[in-house]
């Protein structure tokens, strides 16, 4: 049902562009809300995955908060209507002016990753006559079985506070007057389909809870981050991940104390399947061992295959001829500008509409202007 593209209309739009199925986004948000509400869990959408205003507004309409990693993301979330107290600001390198944006808007929480950052937030908060709510991002040293560029919760990664530094950090929190300790924050990585990694995270959180209890500190918020993976291979069979199973793990394995809230920062799993990069074939060129289908979208529009060797399902929406194999490549002057090698497609020719699926997360938002190309446009299913 979600793979029905309005072809006649799409063919009229100038390519390349991102097409967003707003019904799928809405249905996904509905399931997330229902499943999270079962346990009273709170969701903050990771804006970094896709910050389109229409998408942010839709997400906000479900009463979900915003997880931001820059001052501009904080502003974009507020502009899209997210209430300031539901905006959290994370990131390993927050600049002073970004911190000030958060303070001036009285955002809900800063997720802090180091002592020097804590000191600067305290200093700026004092200057602005505020007390900043902070959660400590702890590096849990839990391995997520995913691409090494997108694992974040290992000791070798730059993120978070090491467990052995916690004592020092909490001493600092106690000493500083303009920060208020609200909770602890974790994120082990992205595109995680092995749910055991989340069980391990729960175990680590439980151990840390004991440490905080002994210290008589109370983290009111337990933020377990994002990371739930989606099915890039079969977007039609699995248009949504199994949110029911995902949330149940945290309900089953986290040992919560009275008055604690569990927060999640889901990005990819919210928006990925609703987005498709649409492109037209410019030329088919005969290679030595393959045909090259040269399309008008490139790595500047969707960088994931070039950057992470990521797989995206590729379809020819307008041909139904006999199948052949193609290397689907873009026009950019880099050999890595390739969306897929030896992709089986119906016989493909100039002008065919090519869909690169599961591109709603980390697609348009990571687009750039390399080769001085224009940024891709967005088309929404309910506006076309």
Residues that bind ligand LLP (CB under 6 A): 46, 49, 67, 90, 150, 152, 187, 190-191, 225-228, 265-269, 304, 308, 362
Backbone angles phi, psi at 349, to 5 degrees: -145, 175
- Nearest to 298, CA basis, from 373, 360, 206: 373
Triad 357, 363, 366: Cα angle to 5°: 165
- Distance set, CA 384 to CA 39, 185, 338 (Å): 38, 40, 29
- Our CB check for ligand LLP shows the closer of 150 and 317 to be 150
Provide the minimum distance between the beta carbon of 248 and ligand LLP in the complex, in angstroms, as a whole number. 18
Q: Give least dist CB 374 to ligand LLP, A.
A: 21
Q: Nearer Cβ to ligand LLP, position 149 or 211?
A: 149
Least distance from ligand LLP to the Cβ atom of residue 266, Å: 5
Q: What are the tokens at 312?
A: 């995206």
* Two structure tokens written together for 348: 């493909």
Minimum separation from the CB atom of position 269 to ligand LLP (A): 6
Q: Closest CB to ligand LLP among 10 and 303?
A: 303
Strand partners, 294: 283, 329
Nearer of residues 46 and 142 to ligand LLP, judged by Cβ: 46
Mention every residue, 6+ apart, whose C-beta is less than 8 A from residue 10.
Answer: 19, 278, 317, 353, 379, 384
Query: Whole-angstrom Cα distance, residue 76 to residue 96?
Result: 18
DSSP-assigned letter for residue 250: H
| Minimum CB–partner distance for residue 295 and ligand LLP (Å) | 20
Least Cβ distance, residue 16 to ligand LLP (angstroms):
18
CB-neighbour burial class of residue 320 (10 A; exposed 0-12, middle 13-18, buried 19+): exposed
Between 212 and 308, whose beta carbon lies closer to ligand LLP?
Answer: 308
240 DSSP assignment: S
Complex with ligand LLP: residue 78 or 228, whichever CB lies closer: 228
- In the complex, the smallest distance separating the C-beta of residue 157 from ligand LLP, rounded to whole angstroms, is 10
Q: Are 289 and 273 in contact (CB under 8 A)?
A: no
Q: What's the chain's Rg over C-alpha atoms?
A: 22
Return the bridge partners of 104, or none: none
Is the Cβ–Cβ distance between 241 and 271 less than 8 Å? no
Nearer to ligand LLP, 181 or 232 (CB): 232
- Minimum CB distance to ligand LLP, residue 52 (Å): 15
Tokens of 141: 């040293």
The nearest distance, CB 343 to ligand LLP, in angstroms, is 20
Quick one: 191 or 319, whose CB is closer to ligand LLP?
Answer: 191
- Closest to ligand LLP by CB, 343 vs 361, is 361
Minimum CB separation from ligand LLP for residue 297, in Å? 16
For residues 92 and 256, which CB has a smaller minimum distance to ligand LLP in the complex? 92
Backbone angles phi and psi of 235, in degrees to 5: -65, -25
Q: Exposure pattern of 138-171 as b/e (b: 16+ CB <10 Å)?
A: bbbbbebebeeebbbbbeeeebbbebebbeebbe
């Amino acid at each position: 049902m979600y793979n029905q593209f309005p072809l006649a209309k799409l063919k009229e739009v100038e390519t390349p562009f991102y097409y967003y199925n707003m019904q799928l986004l809405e249905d996904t948000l509905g399931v997330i809300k229902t499943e999270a509400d079962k346990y009273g869990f709170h969701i903050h959408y990771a804006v970094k995955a896709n910050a389109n205003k229409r998408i942010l507004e839709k997400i906000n309409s479900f009463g979900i908060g915003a997880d931001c990693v820059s001052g501009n993301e904080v502003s974009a979330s507020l502009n899209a209507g997210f209430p300031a107290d539901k905006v959290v600001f994370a990131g390993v390198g927050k600049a002073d002016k970004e911190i000030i944006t958060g303070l001036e808007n009285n955002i809900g929480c800063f997720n802090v990753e180091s002592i020097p950052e804590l000191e600067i937030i305290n200093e700026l908060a004092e200057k602005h006559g505020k007390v900043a709510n902070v959660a400590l991002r702890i590096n849990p040293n839990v391995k997520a079985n995913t691409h090494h560029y997108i694992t974040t919760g290992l000791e070798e990664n730059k993120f978070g506070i090491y467990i052995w530094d916690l004592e020092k950090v909490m001493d600092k929190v106690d000493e500083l007057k303009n920060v208020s300790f609200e909770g602890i924050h974790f994120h082990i990585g992205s595109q995680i389909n092995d749910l055991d990694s989340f069980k391990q995270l729960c175990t680590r959180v439980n151990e840390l809870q004991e440490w905080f209890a002994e210290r008589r500190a109370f983290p009111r918020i337990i933020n377990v981050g994002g990371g739930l993976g989606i099915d890039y291979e079969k977007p039609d069979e699995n248009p949504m991940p199994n949110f029911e199973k995902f949330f149940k793990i945290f309900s089953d394995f986290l040992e919560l104390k009275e008055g604690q809230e569990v927060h999640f920062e889901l990005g990819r799993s919210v928006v990925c399947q609703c987005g498709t990069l649409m492109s037209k074939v410019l030329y088919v060129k005969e290679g030595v061992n393959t045909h090259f289908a040269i399309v008008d979208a490139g790595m500047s529009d969707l960088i994931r295959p070039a950057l992470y060797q990521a797989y995206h399902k590729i379809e020819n929406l307008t041909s139904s001829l006999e199948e052949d194999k193609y290397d689907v490549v873009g026009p950019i002057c880099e050999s890595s500008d390739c969306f897929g090698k030896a992709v089986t497609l119906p016989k493909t020719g100039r002008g065919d509409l090519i869909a690169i699926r599961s591109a709603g997360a980390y697609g348009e938002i990571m687009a750039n202007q390399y080769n001085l190309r224009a940024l891709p446009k967005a088309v929404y299913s309910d506006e076309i």
